[in-house]
Amino acid sequence: MILQSIKMAWSAIVSNKMRSFLTMLGIIIGVVALVVLVSIVNGATSSVTDTISSMGTNLLTVNINDNKENPLKISDLDQFTADQNISAVAPSAQASVTAASSYASETTTVYGTTAAYADIQGLELSSGRFLRTTDVDNHSRVVVISSDVATDIIGRPNVVGESIKLDGVEYMIIGILKSDTSESSSSSVYEAYIPFTSLTRLSSSVSSEVTTFYVSAADEDSMDAAEDALTDLLMGRYGQDEDAFNIRNQSSIMETMASVTSTMSLLLGGIAAISLLVGGIGIMNIMLVSVTERTKEIGIRKAVGAGHLSIMEQFLIEALMLSLMGCLVGILGSWGIIEIVNIVGDTSYNLSMGVVIIASCFSMAIGIVFGIYPANKAAKKNPIDALRYAS
């Protein structure tokens, strides 16, 4: 019986292709909006949170805004590690220099830091080693470069032990960073790490004063304790002036990000859901027209013995089929759009399976909810009047 109803619904939909398509269009647009928007927001969110978490979730960033005539030196940083909640501290200064070899030259961001930086930021090397404390103490001209610097500026991937010129000063390459494959952007990353003490000599814009440093907490649970300890120490140093410095907590940034993006996907999803709802009203509208048009057919079916349920089932399945076909076309369309966005925008968004399931369930619910009234109207028709209806 269900199979018969599906066959009947199919022939009714096919017999009026243009109208069926226009009816489905509401659902198609709704589903595309829902799936594409939520997929892209989810994709953007995960790429941002990946970036943040790859930097370590137990990371605190400290900026000194006002040194109160008491500049922070590298040697001062050790006092912070005395706290049990703090495992490592590394300063960071950066400058833009021209990195050159006989092969090519490019503008490169150079970070001046210490040995602890690699652990704090979770940097991984593909070959060689990171900076050591002795390098910092000796103002050594050694450099750790990103893989793009190796391939694009030197011309080969494995160049440990060779040299590169940073603003004309020769540095020995001691390590190469792993290229970051998780990053969605394909643009080249030109970065180099040298001892903090070397950078102060290389770049006139960097002084020996530390204005930014990274702190890693012992573990994720001690983040708040570490932040409190750090605040106490800095407050003591800068005369209880809380505006002299600021501390950014990586995990709280991530929490904020997560709540912002989940609000955003809820908002966009909500707007898309409204357009789905409008599509559902379109289905109801057309089903009502269809029921009126087919009054005679309903009368004949009832005369030869169709019961209330049989007629109801026939029209309900038709409404359900319209909404589900719309949903299917919408999902395929969304997939197409996301693929096009990926090709054009050089990104890697995925169809979010969760939202596909939500869209399907929602479409089905809409088909049923907005199909019930017209189906019931059809089933309730009096066969005598329906037979007499002039079509």
Partner 1 sequence: MIIFDDVSKIYQIGDEEVYALNHASMHIDNGEFVSIVGPSGSGKSTLMNIIGCLDTADEGTYSLDGQPISNYTADELAKIRNRKIGFIFQNFNLIGKMTAFENVELPLIYQRISKSERRERVIEALERVDLLYRKDHKPTELSGGQQQRVAIARAIASKPSLFLADEPTGNLDSKTGKEIMNLFHEMHAQGHTIVLITHDHAVAAQASRSIRILDGQVQEVTS
Residue closer to partner 1 (CB basis): 250 or 314: 314
Does residue 20 belong to the site contacting partner 1 (CB under 8 A)? no
CB distance 112 to 141 below 8 Å: no
Residue closer to partner 1 (CB basis): 304 or 344: 304
CB distance 32 to 334 below 8 Å: yes
Residue closer to partner 1 (CB basis): 82 or 390: 390
Does residue 299 belong to the site contacting partner 1 (CB under 8 A)? yes
Does residue 139 belong to the site contacting partner 1 (CB under 8 A)? no
Residue closer to partner 1 (CB basis): 11 or 263: 11
Sign of CA dihedral 240, 241, 243, 244: negative
Does residue 1 belong to the site contacting partner 1 (CB under 8 A)? yes
Using the rule CB under 8 A, which residue among 161, 307, 345, 354 binds partner 1? 307
What are the two backbone dihedrals, phi and then psi, of residue 302, each rounded to the nearest 5 degrees? -70, -40
Q: How far is the CB of 1 from partner 1 (least distance, A)?
A: 7
Q: How far is the CB of 8 from partner 1 (least distance, A)?
A: 9
Residue closer to partner 1 (CB basis): 148 or 297: 297
Q: How far is the CB of 308 from partner 1 (least distance, A)?
A: 5
Does residue 296 belong to the site contacting partner 1 (CB under 8 A)? yes
Q: Which of 201, 215, 196 is nearest to 136 (CA)?
A: 196
Does residue 328 belong to the site contacting partner 1 (CB under 8 A)? no
- C-alpha span between 258 and 42 (Å, rounded): 10
- C-alpha span between 100 and 170 (Å, rounded): 9
Using the rule CB under 8 A, which residue among 152, 191, 297, 318 binds partner 1? 297
Residue owning tokens 């990171």: 130
Does residue 233 belong to the site contacting partner 1 (CB under 8 A)? no
* Region near partner 1 per CB under 8 A, out of 49-57, 291-299, 325-333, 340-348: 291-299
For Cα atoms 260, 261, 262, give the angle at the middle one, nearest 5 degrees: 95
Does residue 218 belong to the site contacting partner 1 (CB under 8 A)? no
Does residue 387 belong to the site contacting partner 1 (CB under 8 A)? yes
Using the rule CB under 8 A, which residue among 237, 279, 302, 331 binds partner 1? 302
Cβ-Cβ contacts under 8 Å for 375 (sequence gap 6 or more): 287, 291, 311, 312, 313, 314, 315, 316, 319
Q: How far is the CB of 17 from partner 1 (least distance, A)?
A: 13
Tally the residues of the chain.
Answer: 391
Q: How far is the CB of 185 from partner 1 (least distance, A)?
A: 56
* Region near partner 1 per CB under 8 A, out of 74-82, 119-127, 361-369, 383-391: 383-391
Does residue 128 belong to the site contacting partner 1 (CB under 8 A)? no
CB distance 13 to 290 below 8 Å: no
Using the rule CB under 8 A, which residue among 266, 309, 332, 357 binds partner 1? 309
Using the rule CB under 8 A, which residue among 145, 291, 306, 319 binds partner 1? 306
Q: In the sheet that 245-249 helps form, which strands lie side by side, from edge to edge?
A: 86-91, 212-217, 59-64, 245-249
Displacement of CA 236 from its chain's centroid (Å): 40
Q: How far is the CB of 386 from partner 1 (least distance, A)?
A: 10
Query: Which two three-digit tokens encode residue 274?
Result: 């409204």
Q: Which of 196, 215, 221 is nearest to 94 (CA)?
A: 196
Residue owning tokens 């290229």: 179
